[in-house]
Structure 1
Amino acid sequence: MSADTTTHSSPGARPAVGWSLLGSELSVLFRRLRTWAMLLALAAVPLLIALAVKLSSRPVAPGRGPLFLDRITQNGLFVAVTALVVCVPLFLPLTIGVVAGDTIAGEANMGTLRYLLIAPAGRIRLLLVKYAGAVAFCFAATVTVAASGALAGVVLFPVGPVTLLSGDTISVGESVLRSLLVAGYITVSLLGLAAIGLLISTFTDVPVGAMAATIVLSVVSQVLDNLPQLDWLHPWLFSHHWLGFADLLRQPIDWTSFGANALLQAGYIAVCGALAYAKFSNKDVLS
């Protein structure tokens, strides 16, 4: 098949084709039982954390367990942040790896990729739509954890003004906004991994292999980031800033870590996107 299969259509019709393809992609993604199963599993994490703390016969000692775990009994709003901290290293990358690894390889495996390329969307637009779907899931996954944590915290623990890491106290309303900022930070953190999954997905017709490779790379990146002998490599690892949202919990907010994280993820998106197109544009699609 040629590098970019297109049909004759008016220029004005192409944006409509793109939006239609995106809508179809999101509809298929969020109607899948697998997608909802993963979101429900993520929603269960903060609930389990809250129940474990609530039913515990002794208070959590400061410094023990995940960040902010010892503050949950004082203020239920910390359940959401604690759950995000717990989910970032494994649970969120696992679900993102499943969705991103399935983007192209899943279509090839089911035999539908060839028919998608016959549409006037073309290969570039198809890659963009597939990545947009993975980005939408990144957002949905992070918001699911945060929302479930907030709900569990409000139901099981007292809620009131929050003391930040800087020692300042903010209102409940502002603390909710800070939680949303943390969720946004983590969503941005996962965009590089989604781009890596898309790239790997263009190399194979076996979605399980692409999913596994993406998840393994997320684990390897985090392991390398914890080796002091590789300090020179750490700033280049896509997982380096995953837990760097502490500055969002200070007064005033320091946006330095957010900017560094966004720049790093943008670099991975650009490089992996270019490589994905280079591979996909020359890929012979037989099914």
Structure 2
Amino acid sequence: MSNHEPSDRARRPSTAVLTPPDQTPDRAGAVPDRGPGRLRAAARLLGAEAALTFRRPRHLAMLGVLAIVPILIGVAVRLVAGDGVTESIVAQVAGNGLVLTFAAFFVMLPLILPLAVSVVAGDAVAGEASQGTLRYLLTAPAGRGRLLALKYANVLLFCLAACTLVAVSALVAGLVLFPSGPVTLLSGTTVPFAEGLLRAGVAVLYASAGMAALGALALLFSTLTENPIGAISATVVLVVVSEVLVAIPQLSALRPFLLTSWWNAFDGVLRAPMDTGRMGTGLLVFAGYIVISGSLAWARFTSRDVTS
């Protein structure tokens, strides 16, 4: 996870180049609202940012790992399925390949997915600062607030892509390695395969929301330092500490306020009726983290001294 990749940064298109000529900045440095033109400019900027994100070798390697881990989980379950293993999730995966999608999220949400999101979000601003390109981006007509929103929108795209990749990889591996058909939920109810696919889609969206909350925290750390490794490390340490605190029974009063406490609430889709209450509370917690972290990141980023 080296933070020295000059070739990528050197080819980064500047915000000024991508801003339409009819959008003249005001005295505050922000581009006035031009309706459709503003939306087109934002879409082009986001497309350029996303293209850079999904072309970087480091990020492609992380996505490769995210695709391989569900396959390894499926192979491991396949090898032990006939050895008298009775754990519910393992037994259900062995009986229906679709359940491998949920099992993959149970395994990967505590650390693997957060690590991937932390790398992308932690590098969003600090990486620009370490390469010396942040000064030019902040003086572009797009404005600081809009540039920060663009960075976070790119993080959201990566979160959704990463969670979708995990689900698709697990689904394909599950259908190849195990039989398919009606899905037996954790509550004992059996639902048709099509409904099981729909519930898997809801799990993907919920997991993406949880990673988006973590991405907002990592983006905040990224605005506080010029070292992307520092922002990434701070985010990962926060995740690990939170996981430890969740595991300590004496600190159960803290659990409702810890981000990691709600990541596995997607298992509400495996119950009948669907446990929308707990999942809804989790989404509110995610939204709270996004609003607070985003506000602090905005306050820091819009007042950042780029002349030093």
Please give the alpha-carbon distance, in whole angstroms, between the structure 2 residues aligned to 1:272 and 1:206: 19
Higher helix share: 2
Q: Is 1:280 the equivalent of 2:280?
A: no
Verify the 8 A CA contact 1:46 1:83 in the aligned structure 2.
yes
Look up the match of 1:186: 207
Verify the 8 A CA contact 2:31 2:142 in the aligned structure 1.
no
Look up the match of 2:51: 27
Q: Is 1:6 the equivalent of 2:29?
A: yes
Q: Which amino acid aligns with 2:178?
A: F
Please give the alpha-carbon distance, in whole angstroms, between the structure 2 residues aligned to 1:5 and 1:37: 40
Please give the alpha-carbon distance, in whole angstroms, between the structure 2 residues aligned to 1:248 and 1:36: 30
SS at match of 1:179: helix
Look up the match of 1:128: 149
Q: Is 1:51 the equivalent of 2:61?
A: no
Look up the match of 2:40: 16
Verify the 8 A CA contact 1:14 1:121 in the aligned structure 2.
no
| Count of matched residue pairs | 281
Look up the match of 1:80: 101
Please give the alpha-carbon distance, in whole angstroms, between the structure 1 residues aligned to 2:173 and 2:249: 37
In structure 2, relative to structure 1, the CA distance for the partners of 1:97 and 1:60 (3 Å cut) is farther
In structure 2, relative to structure 1, the CA distance for the partners of 1:8 and 1:121 (3 Å cut) is closer
Query: In angstroms, what is the RMSD of aligned CA positions?
Result: 1.9
* Larger CA deviation: 49-58 vs 224-233: 49-58
Instruction: Please point out which of 156, 169, 173 is paired with 2:177.
Output: 156
Superposition deviation, residue 107 in structure 1 = 0.9
Superposition deviation, residue 8 in structure 1 = 6.6
Verify the 8 A CA contact 2:92 2:184 in the aligned structure 1.
no
CA-to-partner distance for each residue in 1:23-64, whole Å, 9 max, x for gaps? 21111111112221111101111111111222347435223x
TM-score, length of structure 2 as denominator length: 0.86
Any residues of structure 2 matched to 1:215-230 within 5 Å, and which?
215-230=236-251
Superposition deviation, residue 20 in structure 1 = 2.2
SS at match of 2:124: coil
Verify the 8 A CA contact 1:5 1:118 in the aligned structure 2.
no
In structure 2, relative to structure 1, the CA distance for the partners of 1:156 and 1:272 (3 Å cut) is same
Higher relative CO (CA 8 A, sep ≥ 6), structure 1 or 2?
1
Look up the match of 2:19: none
Unaligned runs of 5+ in 2: 1-26
Please give the alpha-carbon distance, in whole angstroms, between the structure 1 residues aligned to 2:258 and 2:30: 41
Instruction: Please point out which of 49, 57, 61 is paired with 2:85.
Output: 61
Q: Which amino acid aligns with 2:198?
A: L
Unaligned runs of 5+ in 1: none
Q: Which amino acid aligns with 1:116?
A: L
Verify the 8 A CA contact 2:246 2:255 in the aligned structure 1.
yes
In structure 2, relative to structure 1, the CA distance for the partners of 1:7 and 1:49 (3 Å cut) is closer
Q: Which amino acid aligns with 1:129?
A: L
